[in-house]
């Protein structure tokens, strides 16, 4: 059954140089079907199988008319309008690999990418949308994620925002080419889009340092916020305009940072003085990134080893009464740390000094 707002797939023509558009469309369809099978095998559709139809329908290649592949000599540009048919075929097949694609570079720095499709599917499924939900996406990227949301929920229920006007303009163009016209806004994602509120779901495709308070004020009670934070994915349930709480998903997640004039890029996490076992552990690096404002590497390492090398799913975040805190195991348990920009006491093994959240 076609989901609300769904559309038929685009023809999938490679470009003006291709003498065989039917063959190009067939290649796109077969590559897309293979990608859907890969995502399905990963279990990402288990929470909401209707996302399978969205991925099977929305043509990813229309959102990546060119992309960059890292190699020994730097980045190789793959272009769907190349005069070389073999290059066009590599571009098409690469567009449907289950891998992130670099789509915009500036001075060798990655600005935007099309995320790994299986991770996108997991995030969309974990968003647990219902028909009629209004969704705000933070980070328009190529527009592909907004197209998937539009297929599932209807374009009138989808808003996507990005700081860079070049990014939003190209996202609008890609979305129109694929037959979707959600609301695309140029602005600071940390401030949300108040004129389109209230939202039932907010999904971010860029890494946060903390949880912007503006998002909570634009959410309906019971809304869900899903966002990358400290190389993980936090799922927060919003109680009201000042309170939200939730846990991290088990999966790692690496995204470009949320950009803005008042948000400088974070300093890289240092592993100086960390023992080898912790240095090589993705779980430990997650803890170190999450507590970077509160614990030094040795303190984080001692905690990590003492608590049994916990995975991401044992951590959570609470927003309340002007404070944003991360915690281990239990919001009322012994360990909590303020996130950047949160007013509050020093990190605590919880006791009388912790504010009541």
251, pLDDT greater than 80? yes
Share of the chain above pLDDT 90, in %: 71
Look-up of token digits 């990005």: 162
CA distances from 68 to 172, 276, 283, 312 (A): 21, 34, 29, 31
Residue 337 lies in a domain: yes
Host domain of residue 343: 276-349
pLDDT at 21: 63
Residue 330 lies in a domain: yes
Mean pLDDT value of segment 186-210: 96
Phi, psi of 40 (to 5 degrees): -60, -40
Residue 345 lies in a domain: yes
| Cα–Cα dist 261/258, whole Å | 10
Residue 315 lies in a domain: yes
Residue 130 lies in a domain: no
Mean pLDDT value of segment 180-209: 97
8, pLDDT greater than 70? no
Look-up of token digits 């803005």: 260
Residue 326 lies in a domain: yes
pLDDT at 262: 54
User: pLDDT of 253-298, one tens digit each?
Assistant: 999 888 764 555 566 667 777 878 888 899 999 999 999 889 989 9
Give the count of domains, the chain: 1
Query: Cα-Cα-Cα-Cα dihedral of 104, 105, 111, 113, to 10°?
Result: 40
pLDDT at 260: 63
The set of catalytic residues is 115
Residue 317 lies in a domain: yes
> Is 238 or 14 the better-scoring residue by pLDDT?
238
Residue 181 lies in a domain: no
Categorize the per-residue pLDDT at 352 as very low, low, confident or very high, splitting at 50, 70 and 90: very low
């Amino acid at each position: 059954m076609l989901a609300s707002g769904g559309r038929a797939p685009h023809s999938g023509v490679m470009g003006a140089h291709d003498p065989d558009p039917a063959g190009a469309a067939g290649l796109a369809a077969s590559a897309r079907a293979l990608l859907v099978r890969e995502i399905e095998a990963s279990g990402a559709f288990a929470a909401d199988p209707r996302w399978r139809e969205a991925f099977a329908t929305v043509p990813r290649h229309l959102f990546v008319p060119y992309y960059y592949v890292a190699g020994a000599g730097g980045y190789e540009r793959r272009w769907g309008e190349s005069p070389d048919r073999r290059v066009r075929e590599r571009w098409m097949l690469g567009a449907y690999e289950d891998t992130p694609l670099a789509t915009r570079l500036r001075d060798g720095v990655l600005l935007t990418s099309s995320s790994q499709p299986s991770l996108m599917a997991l995030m969309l499924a974990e968003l647990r949308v219902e028909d009629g939900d209004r969704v705000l996406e933070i980070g328009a990227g190529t527009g592909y994620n907004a197209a998937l949301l539009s297929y599932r929920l209807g374009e009138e229920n989808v808003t996507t925002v990005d700081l860079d006007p070049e990014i939003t303009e190209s996202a609008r163009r890609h979305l129109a080419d694929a037959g979707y016209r959600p609301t695309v806004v140029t602005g600071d994602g940390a401030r949300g889009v108040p004129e389109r509120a209230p939202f039932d779901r907010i999904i971010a495709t860029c890494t946060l340092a903390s949880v912007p308070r503006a998002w909570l004020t634009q959410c309906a009670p019971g809304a869900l916020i899903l966002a990358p934070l400290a190389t993980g994915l936090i799922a927060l349930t919003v109680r009201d305009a000042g309170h939200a709480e939730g846990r991290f998903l088990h999966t790692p997640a690496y995204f470009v940072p949320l950009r803005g004039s008042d948000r400088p890029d974070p300093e890289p996490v240092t592993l100086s003085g960390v023992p080898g076992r912790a240095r090589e552990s993705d779980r430990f690096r997650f803890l170190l990134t999450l507590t970077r404002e509160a614990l030094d590497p040795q303190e984080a390492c001692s905690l990590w080893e003492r608590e049994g090398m916990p995975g991401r799913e044992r951590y959570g975040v609470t927003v309340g009464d002007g404070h944003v805190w991360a915690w281990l195991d239990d919001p009322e348990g012994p360990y909590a740390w303020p996130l950047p920009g949160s007013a509050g006491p020093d990190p605590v093994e919880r006791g009388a000094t912790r504010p009541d959240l």
